[in-house]
Amino acid sequence: MKHDNSQIENSMYRLFEITPIPMVLSFPNGKLEYVNPALNTMLGYEDDTIYSDDIIITYLDDIHINKDIRARLNKNPFTPIKIDKRYKHKLGHAIYVQLNIVAQADASGEVVRYISQLIDLTTIKQSDAAEILLNHLVNQSNDAIYVVDPKFGQILNCNRLAHRRLGYSKSELLKLNVVDIQPKLQLKEELKKHFDRIKDNGSLIIESSHLRKDGTEFPVEDSISFIEYNGAEYVFAIVRDISRRKKKELEALAAANLDPLTKLPNRSVLETKLEQVFAKAEKNNTLVAFMYIDLDNFKHINDSHGHTIGDGILVGTANRLKHCVRKSDIVTRLGGDEFLVILSGIANKNMIEPMANKLLTEFESPFHIQSQIVKVEASVGVSVYMDKNTDVHTLIQLADEAMYQAKKQAGTSIYYI
């Protein structure tokens, strides 16, 4: 059955009328022959206003593109062209479009019209731009960012810092579960409680730790939110590495419990440690020796050599005392030029004297401070804790009294009480 050209064209127009894709038929001189409702809607026109001679629908800066298109189609009418260009909205702003255009030629091969299909790229470009912006901000973040499935704990997405900080590629990390990187959530029950708690609160800030690919662990602060998106549930986590902060906190805590000059434990630390030492001595039926050390004539040394040298001798004394005792023993500075060494785990009294003598040998060599050589002598008083014979303060006082007895002897000496 044959159809004349008018029937075919009428069918084409009816198809164009209902298609949601903007369509344009134009003459070789560029004048509009037909536009469908979708094109009118896209450019903000109504009725037949768009056909007016004073209406130009191509954005002015892109007019030159039309000339190039016509030249190419006149040369090769049956080769479609796909190109991005801008059209002008009725209100004046640009509409970004992908133009798909082909020529229709007559029997002699001469172009009689152009058939154009326009795909609005504005929304696509804005969506792409939003994604580019989001990805850039997310990947430039100083914190690791994760999207997690709260039902199974699967890591669904992350930014660049997240996988790099843990030592994984992104594809490797996205194969892992939260329990693979968070040691405190190794059991499914713990993971479920964790996510239920987040859901109940909406968001939480917690401190935990993360596990790198190489097995090393570091402290983190998690800012976690529970999110519903398109009917699905997600956990969104911003994770900050707080290793530096924790280090500073530990340093501050250590500084608060250490003598600022010698870095030896202060009295508050000493009392805490002694509770443990006494408990162990009672359990194992061993002795604890208190050795009270005072530097002889230290005021004279300070006055004659200066406080800088004096401080150097105090630091040197602390280092020497720490060097000659065991790790289980305690060395502390009581104040001024007075130190206390506590020796634990002693089986009997006969072991104390050799240990005290070893301590005194540390003062046989002079101190070398800022190119000055200073000979320093010390007096040591010893008291012993055994069978719950007395308390800490009394033992320190007894060792102090023994030290003053030692001072009555010439040179570096020890007195036992």
* Distance between CA atoms of residues 271 and 381, nearest Å: 20
Please report which confidence band the pLDDT of residue 36 belongs to, taking 50, 70 and 90 as the band edges: very high
- Cβ-proximal residues to 381 (8 Å cutoff; 6+ apart), any chain: 291, 292, 398, 399, 400, 401, 402, 403, 404, 405, 406, 414, 415, 416, 417
List the CATH code of the domain at 5-125.
3.30.450.20
Residue spans per domain, the chain: 5-125, 141-245, 258-416
Helix 352-361, helix 307-324: angle, nearest 10 = 140
Residues 105-140: pLDDT tens digits?
A: 888 888 999 999 999 887 777 777 767 666 777 878
Domains 141-245 and 258-416 share a fold: no
Q: Decide which of 2.40.160.40, 3.30.70.270, 3.40.718.10, 3.40.50.1370 is the CATH code for 258-416.
A: 3.30.70.270
Task: Encode pLDDT of 112-121 as tens digits.
Answer: 999 999 998 8
Judge: domain 141-245, CATH 3.40.50.410: no
Q: In the predicted model, is pLDDT for residue 360 greater than 60?
A: yes
Task: Give SS3 for 206.
Answer: strand
What pLDDT shows up at residue 2? 41
Is the pLDDT reported for residue 77 higher than 50?
Answer: yes
Tokens of 328: 């289980």
In this predicted structure, what is the pLDDT of residue 8? 60
In this structure, the strands spanning 155-158 and 203-211 are unpaired
pLDDT confidence of residue 274: 84
DSSP state string for 248-308: HHHHHHHHHTB-TTT--B-HHHHHHHHHHHHHHHHHHT-EEEEEEEEETTHHHHHHHH-HH
